[in-house]
Structure 1
Amino acid sequence: MPIAVDIDVMLAKRKMSVGELAERVGITPANLAVLKNGRAKAVRFSTLAALCEVLECQPGDLLRWETDGAPVPTPEPTMP
């Protein structure tokens, strides 16, 4: 799937367990595992917002787009 999920990275940075995150976000550990392992087909914006609030991060810290399994480089900002 071209969308990669980096919840593990943020969990490690915040020194938080999957169980604690699931409880604080208000989802089951099983549903968080589905999302975390990249098996989810969709995520509600309310769930994404709750993840960002609890982990104190931006959506782009949790999700990134890849092509053929290779990370896509972030484009340099252009000046007007």
Structure 2
Amino acid sequence: MHCIHLSIKEKARQTDQSKKENVNIFISTSTLRTAHEKQQNESTARIARITALRLFESTAKIALNRLHFIMHKMTHN
């Protein structure tokens, strides 16, 4: 085993480097959190659009079925 003695200047440099890494990790975590929230919001908006489209399609199908029924009834009377 080797015993390594670091100078005060080297220890200070490592401490500064460590602080920079911690800040970078904090920023990265914050960035990831923001990206995740944005993705969740986009996903919610996409689900809302799909739901609205399905509701519209369902309403349109009901209206067409009723129209078809009325037309069929009129032609057979």
TM-score range for the pair, normalised by the shorter chain length:
under 0.3
* Structure with larger RCO (C-alpha < 8 A, sep 6+): 1
Greater helix share, structure number:
2
TM-score, normalised to structure 2's length?
0.19
Larger Rg: 2
How does the TM-score come out when normalised to structure 1? 0.18
